Every structure is written in C-alpha cells, then in structure tokens.
Amino acid sequence: MYTRLEELRTAHGKTKKEIAELLQCNRQVYARYERGEREITVAMLVKLAKFYETSVDYMLGLVDFVMPLPGKNRKDVTIKVRERIYDAGQKAGQE
C-alpha cells in the first residue's frame, strides 16, 4: 500500500507537502505514511482515494489495477500509474 501512496502522488505531480496539507498533517507525518513507518487512518485513505479518484481497494493493494471513480476522465493519470507499476515490476525482476 505504501508504495502506492508515492506512485499516486508523483503521477499527479504533487509534493509530499501538498498532500500533507490536503490531509491536514505535516510533511514529516505524511512522509512516514509513504515509507510505511506510520499507519494511515481510514479517514485519510478515503480522502486520498477521492482526491486521486481511485478506489481504497487499489490503495490498499487489494486490486492491482487503478479503479477510477466514475464521472471524470483520469485516463492520463491512470496510464502514468500503470507505467510506474510496470517499471517497478521490471526492476524487481532484474534483482
């Protein structure tokens, strides 16, 4: 899950500080969420899922494909996230 937080953030061109402001926490706390050093609350997951227009299931790693919420076209972001996931898989396969 924690790698998906970073993947979604970077695919949307956001900084840790910007996402921390969205979640109303400081940048260091958010950075700990991304590194898996701190558990993220359900309320924050829901807020991020709405912001990124994806599902909490995707963010939790229950599904391996981006599930955009209906109503908006986020195809460009979906493609970027899929490319990052593919690249990460390729790197893991080379190790």
Where residue 65 sits, what CATH number does that domain have?
1.10.260.40
Token pair listed for 3: 């790698």
78: nearest Cα among 11, 9, 4, 14: 11
Q: What's this model's pTM, rounded to 2 decimal places?
A: 0.69
Q: How many domains does the chain have?
A: 1
**What residues make up the domain containing 10?**
2-94
Predicted confidence pLDDT, tens digits, the chain (95 residues): 678 999 999 999 999 999 999 999 999 999 999 999 999 999 999 999 999 988 888 888 888 877 665 555 555 555 566 666 666 666 666 65
- Rounded to 5 degrees, φ, ψ at 43 are -60, -40
